[in-house]
Structure 1
Amino acid sequence: MKRRDTLKAISLSSLGMAVLPTSELVAAPAPDPKPFKTTPARIPEEIERDKKLMAEKFFTAGELTTIGILSDIIIPADGKSGSATQAGVPAFIEFIVKDQPGYQTPLRGGLRWLDNHCTKRFGKAFAQCTPAQRIEVVEDIAYPEDVKPEMSQGAAFFSQIRNLTVTGFYTTRMGFDDLGYMGNTPNDWKGVPQDVLDKYGLKYDPLYDKKDE
């Protein structure tokens, strides 16, 4: 099953346990993230709060680079749509940690754990590691049931990043298009399906659809 098919099969109630096949994971440098925009469906007080939060900075440039790399490992670009960073996921995560401060300590602590672990293991921070080295580390923390005790903090951190990445990506237009989600759109009525007419021995009367015109 391909990576995007895997994600489509994940229900909202099971996002916390979403694990992608590591054979599908592809590390890529993080491109410049799209800015995160909130919906205009807000009361004035909410709009002002959103503007204030978006004007603030929490993550450093280096931390956002690492978040971008991780999110693109989780959802890389493919032939159908762009990657997580191209959908604006790093900016989404930046907004979320300001909107919900409870994420700040776990995510910043997780980023430091990741860099410290990679420095001990490869002699350099995660962002400076090779794609193969990054995947090696991700494989060690991506599967909660198989994680070694000394990697538990990294596994908890990766689960949070994975959940935020999937949430951020699939609440954007790019994510909607990737899923084929149409939303509330008007139907194009083409009459009763022929197989239903045949089942009940009926014939379609084209004049019926013109009675309300």
Structure 2
Amino acid sequence: MDRRKSLQTLLLGGAAAGSGLVFNSCKTETTEAVDQAITESSDTYFGRTPAELERLEKLQAEQLFNEHEMETIAALSVVILPPKEPHGGPIEAGVPELVEFMGKDIPEMAPTLLGGLMWLDHKSNTEFGTEFKSATLEQKKQICDAICWHDTEKPLSEQPLEIQFFYMMRGLTVTGYYTSKVGIADLGYKGNQPNVWDGVPQDVLDQHGVAYDPEWIAKCVDQSKRNVIAEWDDEGNLLT
């Protein structure tokens, strides 16, 4: 599950932009070797280091939940965060796969997740004569309503398993959805976008008794040159 895609893109993009301006003169054989290793792994896992790549491949090969448990996770996730048009919901965002990945990546979470899934089915069978994933939406909500709040005066670790389980699943569902492509689209987040800077407003310049040098204002605020990369001479003078 490539849940860190957005962060990796930002980090790698920022590093690439910065390297041309600042870091090229400081590179060593060691950093070049690491850069090469990251480049070679980026097609599959978005720039993981070799050690990260090895661990991810190991986790991907393991299986924590069976098919029934994965279906139950999917059913619970859409109760926690119902899908909405046009982007979809937790299933389209890959939340069930993320839950399994996190259960393998952080083994301490696995007993709570596995135990909670067993509790859901036991509760549903006891109350409604069917497993949780097959219950009606109202029946699922009734079960969840009983475990969705915890006593804030008491450590979560000391509260019933089902309370801990729902708390964990709610966090994973919301995090998984809003760090996915569909969740980001649902937020309407567009990321950093270039804008147009026309300099400090004239009334502010007048207020402080300052003015732009015509030569510099032509170089720095000329929007026809906004995509031109700045060049400087050895004495620090702007050439472009």
- State the TM-score, normalized to the length of structure 2: 0.62
User: What does residue 179 of structure 1 align with?
Assistant: 187
Give, in whole Å, the separation in 2 of the partners of 1:120 and 1:97: 27
CA distance in 2, matches of 1:113, 1:152: 11
Task: Measure the CA separation in 2 of the matches of 1:76 and 1:200.
Answer: 52
How far is the alpha carbon of 1:143 from its aligned partner?
Answer: 2.1
| CA-CA distance at 1:152 after TM superposition | 3.4
The 3-state SS of whatever aligns with 1:76 is coil
Q: Which has the larger radius of gyration?
A: 2
In the alignment, structure 1 residue 158 sits paired with structure 2 residue 123: no
**Alpha-carbon distance in 1 for matches of 2:199, 2:85:** 36
Distance 1:175 1:44 in 2: 29
Q: Distance in 1 between matches of 2:170 and 2:143?
A: 14
- Indicate if the aligned counterparts of 1:141 and 1:152 stay in contact, CA closer than 8 A: no
Structure 2 contact 112–161 (Cα < 8 Å) conserved: no
Cα offset, 1:84, TM superposition = 0.7
Identify unmatched segments of 5+ residues in structure 2.
Answer: 4-44, 153-158, 226-240
Are the structure 2 counterparts of residues 122 and 54 from structure 1 closer, same or farther at C-alpha, using a change threshold of 3 Å?
same
2:198 corresponds in structure 1 to 191
Contact 1:40 1:47 in 2 (8 A): no
Determine if the alignment matches structure 1 residue 125 to structure 2 residue 121: no
**2:160 counterpart SS class:** helix
2:148 and 2:124 mapped to 1: Cα distance?
Answer: 15
Corresponding residue to 2:76 among 48, 70, 89: 70
User: Are 2:106 and 1:141 equivalent residues in the alignment?
Assistant: no
SS of equivalent to 1:53: helix
* Number of residue pairs aligned between Structure 1 and Structure 2: 169
User: Shift of the alpha carbon at 1:111?
Assistant: 0.6
Bigger mean CA deviation after superposition, 89-98 or 79-88: 79-88
Q: Determine the structure 2 residue equivalent to 1:84.
A: 90
The percentage of aligned residue pairs carrying the same residue is 35
Kindly indicate whether structure 1 or structure 2 has the higher relative contact order, using CA contacts under 8 Å at least 6 residues apart. Answer: 1
Judge conservation of contact 2:70–2:96 (CA < 8 Å) in 1: yes
Separation of aligned partners in 2, 1:70 and 1:201: 62
Q: Residue type of the partner of 1:130?
A: T
For residues 38-75 of structure 1, what are the alpha-carbon distances to aligned partners after superposition, in whole Å with 9 as ceiling and x for unaligned? 64221112112111211211101100111111111122
Whether 1:57 aligns to 2:57 is no
Deviation at 1:153, TM superposition (A): 2.7
CA RMSD of aligned residues (A): 2.7
Scaled by the length of structure 1, the TM-score of the pair is: 0.69
Structure with higher helix content:
2
> Structure 2 vs 1, CA of residues 178 and 123 (structure 1 numbering), >3 Å: closer, same or farther?
same
C-alpha spacing 1:192/1:45, structure 2 compared with 1 (3 Å) = same
